[in-house]
Amino acid sequence: MAKKKAWSGRFDGRTDAFVEEFTASIPYDVLLYRQDIAGSIAHARMLGKQKIIPQADARKIVAALTAIREGIESGKLSFDPSQEDIHMAVEQFLIRKLGKTGGKLHTGRSRNDQVALDLRLFLRESIDDILAILEKVQEAIVARAEEFFGVVVPGYTHVQRAQPVLFSHHLLAYHEMLTRDQDRFRDARRRANVSPLGAGALAGTTFPVDRESVAAELGMEGVCENSIDAVSDRDFAADFLYACAVTMMHLSRFSEEMVYWSSAEFGFLSLPDALCTGSSIMPQKKNPDVPELIRGKAGRAYGNLVNLLTVMKGLPLAYNRDMQEDKEPVFDSARTVKESLIGAALLIRGMSVNEGRMRGACDDGFLTATDLADYLARKGVPFRKAHEITGKIVRYCEKNGKRLKDLSLKEFRSFSPRIGEDVGNFVSLTNSLRMRNVRGGTGPRRVKSRLEALKKR
Ligand code: ARG
């Protein structure tokens, strides 16, 4: 049977039992209990300091809130749907402890500014966690890129072997992506870290609150300048969900490579047993579940972003109950990104590399054809023409079952008299890499210096 509500003054009858459950957010917003209590403690202290409530009451409230947090953590306090949401639940615990004094906490505040604050604080913490794990993944990348320095692998376009690259260069590409991911999260953090408290329900409050001191106590960088905006918008949460979606997109591409590079067909990598599972029917199988699940979970992250944008798109200002739907996508994306990053770090640390297979794949497939064209261009053949000549040479090789390095000088010269003795050197893998000594390129010296720079960071 439904219990008496905090807002029951205006109501005649009890809430329908289904409606009570349907409207409750407590089953999931319990996750916000720490943020909710932190916000309430800052608010109560300010109420006391501003003499909006007696200092002694403020002190009692702060002590009781601290005890409530401990009660929740130890499991002594439990929740039920009649409490509606975490804000009501904490207030109910407070009133149970302090009686009338507990009822003073909500002075000059609304759940509308309170919930916006809680979500902002939650995002801030999630972002700090994510940034720390992102850094771990990057450390793992740098360590392995250093370990495998010198290993050559085909670089691909259209999943066709294209040009040889250092495996380290390939790994470090992900490092760059993750650096931009960090930027996106930091940006989202900056916009989230602003206090809406003082906005009240939507129009501000009649009490002489000190918004800045509350914000400062909570470690926030400022206050929302418009009370209607403060309780209405969730763009800061969408920023976070977008950052999560992009990170998951990066992790998903990485995972995709883990999956197929560890297949028998490629055989470039193998994943440690600890990160794989077997099949219930095929005894020979070792499945790359971790990267597959990371790849699969990108779907949630995209969904969560679209979810929130859709919830928000038709809402008139200011608060609407629809906005209660903002929380689950945020919680889900935060968890998904954290877990996926932990999985990615395990994969990077645990994978073993089959250098022979990688090099073997570079040996056939004409990976140095571009170098041959560049060679001709250096000898004065216009690049377009050089491209055409090289194309003909490749066709000739294919027909005769030869690789570029198998051709004799005579065979080469039958395609262009400009080809000289030095061509053999030019079309070697080592030379192909060495010549790409452009900033950002796969030339070993460039990769090494990038690696050193990243190690120092
Ligand atoms: N549980 C609500 C939410 O998550 C809290 C705010 C409720 N405000 C209101 N006016 N009913 O959005």
Q: Determine the distance separating the centroid of ligand 1 and the alpha carbon of 115, expressed in angstroms.
A: 7
Angle at the Cα of 262 from the Cα atoms of 260 and 264, rounded to 5 degrees = 90
- Amino acid 33: pLDDT: 98
| pTM for the model | 0.94
Which of the listed residues 115, 120, 122, 322 should we mutate to test ligand 1's pocket, taking the one with most ligand atoms within 8 A of CB? 115
Same domain, 69 and 95: yes
Q: Would residue 56 count as lying in a domain? A: yes
Q: Which atom of ligand 1 is nearest to the CA of 29?
A: 4
> Is 427 within a domain?
yes
* Residue tagged active-site, from 8, 263, 279, 449: 279
- C-alpha torsion angle, residues 106, 110, 112, 115 (rounded to 10): -10
Answer whether residue 255 shows pLDDT above 90.
yes
Taking CA atoms only, the protein residue closest to ligand 1 atom 1 is 85
Q: Which amino acid is residue 337, in one-letter code? A: V
266 and 321 in a single domain? The answer is: yes
Q: Is residue 149 part of a domain?
A: no
Q: What's the mean per-residue pLDDT of the chain?
A: 95
Least confident of 166-175, 196-205, 277-286: 277-286
Cβ distance 198 to 212 under 8 Å? no
> Do 127 and 220 belong together in one domain?
yes
Residue 1 scores a pLDDT above 50 = no
Task: Report the CATH number that the domain containing residue 88 is assigned in CATH.
Answer: 1.10.275.10
Statement to judge: residues 296 and 333 lie in one domain: yes
Residues in the chain: 457
Mean pLDDT of 307-333: 98
- CATH code, 429: 1.10.40.30
Q: What is the pLDDT of residue 12?
A: 75
Collapsing DSSP states into helix, strand and coil, what is residue 355?
Answer: helix
Annotation says 40 is catalytic: no
Closest-CA residue, ligand 1 atom 7, reads: 111
pLDDT band of 3, cuts 50, 70, 90 = low
**Minimal CA–CA distance to 309: which of 224, 223, 240?**
240
- Residue 305: inside a domain: yes
Q: How many domains does the chain have?
A: 3
Which ranges constitute the DSSP H helices of 75-223? Answer: 86-98, 111-147, 167-192, 211-217
Q: How far is the CA of 224 from the centre of ligand 1 (A)?
A: 19
Q: 94 with 118, same domain?
A: no
pLDDT at site 85: 97
Measured in degrees and rounded to the nearest 5, phi and psi for residue 354 equal -95, 90
What is d(CA 190, CA 180) in angstroms, rounded to the nearest whole number?
Answer: 15
Residues lining ligand 1, CB < 6 A?
25, 29, 85, 111-112, 115, 319, 321, 323-324
157 falls within a domain: no
Domain of 217, in residue numbers? 112-144+167-354
Per-residue pLDDT band for 172 (boundaries 50, 70, 90) equals very high
Q: 420 with 333, same domain?
A: no
Cα separation, 185 vs 144, in Å, equals 25
Q: Whose CA is nearest to atom 12 of ligand 1?
A: 324
pLDDT at 364: 79
428 catalytic? Reply is no
Q: CATH no. for residue 320? A: 1.20.200.10
Check whether the bond before 318 is cis (ω within 30° of 0). yes
Task: Judge if 202 and 255 occupy the same domain.
Answer: yes
- Residues 410-425 pLDDT 10s: 999 999 999 999 998 8
Rounded to the nearest angstrom, the distance between the alpha carbon of 108 and the centre of ligand 1 is 16
The pLDDT tens digits for 82-127 are 899 999 999 999 999 999 999 999 999 999 999 999 999 999 999 9
Burial class (CB in 10 A: 0-12, 13-18, 19+), 216: middle
Residue 139 lies in a domain: yes
Dihedral sign computed on CA atoms, order 239, 241, 245, 247: positive
289 and 399 part of one domain: no
